[in-house]
Structure 1
Amino acid sequence: MTTSFDKSGEHVRASIHRLSDHVVDLIAAGEVVERPAAALKELVENALDAGATRIEVDLWGGGCESIEVTDNGSGIAPDELALAVERHCTSKLNDNQLVHIRTLGFRGEALPSIGASARLSLISRLKGAETAWSITVEGGVKSEPMPSAGEEGTIVIVRDLFFATPARRKFLKSARVEGSHAEMVMRRVALSAPHCAILFRSEGRDVFNLPPQDLKDRVAFILNVPSDSLLTLDEQRGAMRLTGFLCNPGHTRPTGAGQFILVNDRPVIDPVLRTAVRVGYRSVIERGRFPILFLHLHVPFERVDVNVHPAKTELRFADEAEVRAFVIGAIGRVLTRGASQVGGIEADITHFTTQTLPSISTHTRPAHFGVSASASSTPQKKISSSENNKADLGFSPSVRRFPEESVQDLGGFAESQKSYTTPQDSLREELESVEFEQEDYPSQPLGVPIGQIHTTYILSVAPNGDLILTDQHAAHERLTHERLRKRFEEGRISAQVLLLPEVLDLSKSEREALLVCQEELSRLGLEIEAFGEGSLLIRTIPAPLKGGDVTALIRDIAEELIEEGASSARQTDSLDQRFEAIMARMACHGSIRAGRKLNFEEMGALLRDMEQHPRSNTCPHGRPTWLRLTKDALEKMFGRVK
């Protein structure tokens, strides 16, 4: 029994009754079909489940006006068409167990939900059949199946989405915004099925037309990055396996739109995995930027539940902490590559924005010199020689210059600064006589220094003749940061004893979560112990964090341990980010300054050190430490080749 209120505010008893099938369908449609992109996702996944090797999608009005999906899959039998548009009718589950689900769809709700809120037409022809059959559903009212013209496979047409639920239609965004959501869905689908040819049109224009491809080629196209910037990932732990491709840290974006994740071939948007990605990349990219990647996590079917939400983009793992730790570790190991390994930051200067040189007039400059042939006839804005070129490099350009004062003592890390001061012998004669052998390249990919530019950038020649520009401050900052990080990860942090131990009252769950990590926290300089029934006693704090609010830090750590199910305090943002900021500041102040003149031995020692240390391709702030200028780039700049 429920109650309601009349106009006078008095309680009125309302009787319990069964909702009509039409209302039930509309409620279900609201869960499954939130927007046109959700309807498109369900239709394309049905096509893939039917074994399609080619899918064509036409979108109009962002999907609000029309969505048409054509596939060459197995098709639907004429006597099953009526069942296909009934709720909870599916061919994808052969038993009542929702465990070993190998198909993208399985709930039997997509087509009925779409038919309840839109005008749905379904045309399908079995392979080898003489004719196709069709059925229509408008606002939940379906027609009888009838013969129709059609190729082998299935065509699904959705018109006037949400015409039966006008309130829902009012909440849709513009056609452009809805179309962008639909495009993102198609990109995820394209990555999940590289074997399938996919044509996606929007407003009559081809957005992309992809043939069956090798996975790496498909990933490079969808992520819109050069294939040589992709780092291969393939790691296994027990029954879990993680494969995919990571972009090197020089390629980032302002949003997470460049992150695509699959779990057992299913495109997902999972907070556990996104958190793991963020933590894995945190030490190598600039704060506020997002990495670009494609990950495919394979887990035993019984260890993951995909039946969490009707949209099937959210998951629930049996052991979230195990999955998170595995993904963080796998990403970290791939990114832990020095400049001597594949995946270093390489920047082609021809990709940067060029400007009109004062000595070259625009009408005499070749079309391929800085502008395309089609754009060469467009009047160019004259730029003074004092203005700087600007390009969206994916990081914030910055040159740090410091006065020659002593390094600040921030405490906590007893770090012995490596010195590159050597005898001032000139190596010019030796360098001029150096001849590289091809087999030397793997051991010294950053080459031999030949000079210093603006007393900030080291210019070197690689064994293959490429020019390498190294930012001496950024490079040494990374090396210093890595030594500090090693001490942190080994738990060798100096502790500051409190004159008067602090007592902190916590809930039972927070107290227990912290006491489980008591030994680990002690290695990090944070000594705690049980005090009474509901309190903790804080005896020491990490020396680098002295002066901070330690009680707030401990509460934050406890909250993260409970909410995220992390088994290690080291993995919590509260602790890691505080130490990360301290280490970055110490590394910055303790590194070779921009503007300091180096001799050849110092420059060479820095380059060799970079080749041996992990993550030396970017500084702790995510900016590149070195750039490569190839022979092809030089020839393009000088107009020798197009």
Structure 2
Amino acid sequence: MNSHAPNMRPVIRQLDEAAANRIAAGEVVERPASAVKELVENALDAGAVRIDIAIAKGGKALIRVSDDGCGMTAEDLPLALSRHATSKIDGSDLLDIRSFGFRGEALPSLGAVGRLVLTSRAQGFEAAQLTVTGGRLGAVRPAAGNRGTVVELRDLFFATPARLKFLRSDRAETQAIVEVIRRLAMAEPYVGFSLTDEDEGRVLFRADAEQGDLFGALQTRLARVMGRDFIDNALAIDASRDEISLTGFAALPTYSRGAAVAQHLFVNGRPVRDKLLTGAMRAGYMDVLAQGRHPAAVLFVTCDPHSVDVNVHPAKAEVRFREPDAARGLVVSALRHALAGAGHRSSSTVATAALQVAQVEPQRPSYQAPARPSGAAIAASFGFQAPGFSEAPSARVEPEPETDATEAPLGAARAQLHENWIVAQTATGIVIVDQHAAHERLVYERLKAQAAANGIPAQALLIPEIVELSEADAQRILSIADELAALGLVIEAFGGGAVAVREVPAMIARIDAPRLIRDILDDLADQGSSDRLRARVDAVLSSMACHGSVRSGRRMTGDEMNALLREMERTPKSGQCNHGRPTSIELKLSDIERLFGR
């Protein structure tokens, strides 16, 4: 017997408006931060250039949002508190969304679960006020006020007390509100924001409206919100493809975080948490981050509103692109291009950390060792020694004119310490280079370039491996067969839902083809794409580079050290080794003098 089936035929009833609003509030307003987000987005849609937010008890007792936007008239107020009443769209084209809000659910939902007072004044009209308590509307009354709107929400969820049990502490809810305002402030550099905790009488966040061109205003705003260190160590991103543009800032790999807390993505100005874009960002930083580290970036995707559906979730935190591959490809290529252009540059925080531990016993960080490739691959990799080295050199360095090498970015080699550290003198300080880490990246980039030019060698299996899949999964994996073949994995249909693995990458000594196929399918289902095989191939190339590069403990001549420095300056991504460690640290003379109290 079905436990959900009643003994008698159920009667279909029309829910009253108050119940419908409380149900809608459960989707739109999950916590105080959700209410703040909806109200601040309404203020932005109204054209506000100054938005002030006040909260109490983590937003549970009070949320007040004041703006200087276009405001509303007395006749508008009751309509604004009706479900699905909005000024943002006319309903004729639900894909042409050019505003934050468009559902017309936020205000009636908030009024259904709290005590809401709406005061507004439009240019040329008198101010008016309307009160809503638990979904019951009061009468519109005259009020005093400047142009704009003030929304005051007290006792959130008093009408649905069960929801209060699921809220976190006042401190946690306050922090969630701060994060919402920070994200919206990043997207709107020309708007001023302030967030005040009325319990403690202190300003939790403040950002005045910025001036200048958009890139300059965004840079200044991000310095306020993300911190000066982020901007000092970030690369400007400005790329476009197929009518999609990508702008923003992405930090150097050596300026990374232990969690994905410094990743902020926006689509047409709307803060989103999108798996496709997050996966694209991860792919863009592939092979330049240490194990367990996460990139920091603030990226803005801009496209025609018809190319992206923002109406897939009530909170509008998720989006769906009409051409997801184009959006993902743009993010990946733009990030890789920017990181390659950074060359030998390493984040300034590396030098800061070095200075901080100059008088403290340093702790050696733990890094995951790369997988060891086959013996033949290791032997072949020794042919990739850097130019000018006495042991198995395979490249040439053009003679440079006799100029003062201290003017070069990485300076002139002056000493080698403990047969591992190259000390170079620059015009403004010194650079310390980890010779093995630096040469490892140089050899790795050469191996990748060779693989890209000649393809990944494939090894035919004596007996093809048959992988049984569902028909849907088989079609999905076969749709990227050409991409997999370029990486040395050759598959073909074998009837029904099965696929046959004919060839595998020759450089990977042991490969579990069925497991790899299923892992790639998981990536495709979760992110719409997969870099798993590319990562496996790169891991082998990285290990080959590690075994074929200059070892720690190797004594180098002055010419060899300078040859290494010059090649670092020419090689993309040479600021970090294959495992994400910095290859060099630059110390300014002023920093060194400060260590000695000068």
TM-score (norm 2): 0.90
SS in 2 for 1:636: helix
Aligned mate of 1:388, from 353, 356, 361 = 361
Specify the code of the residue in structure 1 equivalent to 2:536.
Answer: R
Aligned residues of 2:275 and 2:527 also touching (Cα < 8 A) = no
Cα distance between partner residues in 2 of 1:475 and 1:349:
16
Residues 267 and 302, structure 2, Cα contact 8 Å, conserved in 1: yes
What is the aligned-residue RMSD (CA, Å)?
A: 2.8
Residue 40 of structure 1: how far off its partner (Å): 0.3
Where does residue 594 of structure 1 map in the other structure?
A: 552
Percent same amino acid among aligned pairs?
41
8 Å contact kept, 1:412–1:494: no
- Structure-1 residue corresponding to 2:384: 417
1:325 corresponds to: 329
Mapped to 1, the partners of 2:368 and 2:234 lie a distance apart of: 29
Which runs of 5 or more structure 1 residues have no equivalent in the other structure? 358-386, 391-395, 425-432, 567-571
Aligned residue in 1 for 2:164 = 169
C-alpha distance in structure 1 between counterparts of 2:389 and 2:299, whole Å:
46
Equivalent position of 1:345 in the other structure: 347
1:453 aligns with 2:417: yes
Residue identity in the other structure for 1:458: I
**Distance (whole Å) between structure 1 residues aligned to residue 358 and residue 388 of structure 2:** 42
Offset at residue 295 of structure 1 (A): 0.7
Q: 1:233 aligns with which of 218, 225, 237?
A: 237
Tell me the distance in 1 between the aligned counterparts of 2:228 and 2:35: 29
| Structure 1 counterpart of 2:115, one-letter code | R
Residue 473 in 1 paired to residue 436 in 2? yes
Aligned to 2:259: 255
What amino acid sits opposite 1:221 in the alignment?
Answer: R
1:205 and 2:202 are equivalent in the alignment: yes
Alpha-carbon offset, residue 279 of structure 1: 0.9
Q: Structure 1, residues 231-257: CA drift from partner, whole Å, max 9, x if none?
A: 111011121111111111121112222
* Preserved CA contact (<8 Å) 1:525 1:543: yes
Aligned partner of 2:515 among 552, 557, 570: 552
Per the TM alignment, residue 606 of structure 1 is displaced from its structure 2 partner at its CA by: 1.0
Give, in whole Å, the separation in 2 of the partners of 1:281 and 1:113: 41
- Select which of 430, 447, 450 maps to 1:484: 447
Q: Which residue of 1 aligns with 2:574?
A: 616
User: Are residues 95 and 234 of structure 1, via their aligned partners in 2, closer, same or farther at CA, if it must alter by over 3 Å?
Assistant: same
CA distance in 1 between counterparts of 2:120 and 2:129 reads 6
Task: Quote the offset at 1:495 in angstroms.
Answer: 2.4
Return the match for 1:59 from 41, 55, 60. Answer: 55
Following superposition of structure 1 onto structure 2, how do residues 211-290 of structure 1 map, counting pairs within 5 Å? Answer: 211-213=208-210, 214-226=217-229, 227-290=231-294
**Letter of the structure 1 residue corresponding to residue 226 of structure 2:** L
Do structure 1's residue 102 and structure 2's residue 98 form an aligned pair?
yes
Question: Which letter does structure 1 place at the counterpart of 2:137?
Answer: K
| Kept in 1: contact 2:232–2:348 (CA 8 A) | no
Contact 2:385 2:548 in 1 (8 A): no
2:178 to 183, 187, 195: 183
Query: 1:102, CA displacement in angstroms?
Result: 1.3
CA distance in 2, matches of 1:200, 1:410: 62
Alpha carbons of 1:563 and 1:254: their partners in 2 closer, same or farther (altered >3 Å)?
closer
Structure 2 residues without counterparts, runs of 5 or longer: 211-216, 392-400
Contact 1:348 1:629 in 2 (8 A): no
Superposed displacement of residue 538, structure 1 = 2.3
Give the Cα–Cα distance (whole angstroms) in 1 for the partners of residues 417 and 378 of structure 2. 35
How many matched pairs?
577
Q: Take 1:138 and 1:197, find their aligned partners in 2: how far apart are those partners?
A: 30
Q: Does the Cα contact within 8 Å between 2:377 and 2:544 map onto a contact in 1?
A: no
Helix, strand or coil: the match of 1:598?
A: coil
1:461 maps to amino acid: Q
Residue 582 (1) aligns with residue 540 (2): yes
| CA distance 1:419–1:617, shift in 2 (3 Å) | closer
Kindly indicate whether the alpha-carbon contact (under 8 Å) linking 1:496 and 1:546 is maintained by their aligned counterparts in 2.
Answer: no
Distance 1:454 1:399, change over 3 A: farther
Q: TM-score, normalised by structure 1?
A: 0.84
Instruction: Say which is worse superposed, 533-542 or 598-607, in terms of deviation.
Output: 533-542
- Cα-to-partner distance string for 1:426-463 (whole Å, 9 max, x where unaligned): xxxxxxx98649xx95xx3111111123322211122x
3-state SS in 1 of match to 2:377: coil
Distance 1:479 1:84, change over 3 A: same
Contact 1:413–1:493 at 8 Å: present in 2 too?
Answer: no
Q: Is the counterpart of residue 111 in structure 1 residue 96 in structure 2?
A: no
Q: Which amino acid aligns with 1:555?
A: R
Q: Distance in 1 between matches of 2:241 and 2:186?
A: 24
Contact map agreement 1:413 1:484 (CA 8 A) in 2: no
Alignment of 1:499 with 2:494, yes or no, is no
